Amino acid sequence: MTVGELLQTVERQLEEPDVDGLSVTDLVHLENQLQSALMQARSQKTHLMVEYIKSLQEKEKLLKEENKLLEDRIAVIKKNREVNGMASNFTNLAPVPMIRGQQRATLNFL
């Protein structure tokens, strides 16, 4: 019997005109049914909460992995910028004037 069906049964029995005619055994039986339904509802709620927590933990794990990948990409980009900055510093250097002897030695070498 589902919780909804049980609640309907209890309401029917308690709304009857002869509710005073219910025996103690009937009332104890209704009470036991209600306790059983309450336990089932709580068990289902706990199960759903555990499943939800598991899904959140999985999402957290995926987000941490994605965050690590993004951090690695940022580190690579920063490193590339530093390397490119150093390369542009070398190209921006003014040429050092050569002495005639050095220039000839260089030309002879070629």
Q: How far apart are the first and last CA of the chain?
A: 99
**According to the model, what pLDDT value does residue 34 have?**
85
Residue 44 within a domain: yes
Domain extent at residue 37: 1-10+21-64
Q: Sorting pLDDT into bands at 50, 70 and 90, what band is 84? A: confident
Residue 94 within a domain: no
| Number of structural domains found in the chain | 1
Quickly tell me which residue has 């040429």 as its tokens: 95
Q: What is the pLDDT of residues 6-50, one digit of tens each?
A: 777 777 766 766 667 778 888 888 889 888 888 998 999 999 999
Residue 43 within a domain: yes
Residue 46 within a domain: yes
- The token pair that represents 84 in the structure block: 């490119």
CA distance 11 to 9: 5
CA distance 57 to 32: 37
Residue 86 within a domain: no
Q: Are 31 and 14 in contact (CB under 8 A)?
A: no
Residue 26 within a domain: yes
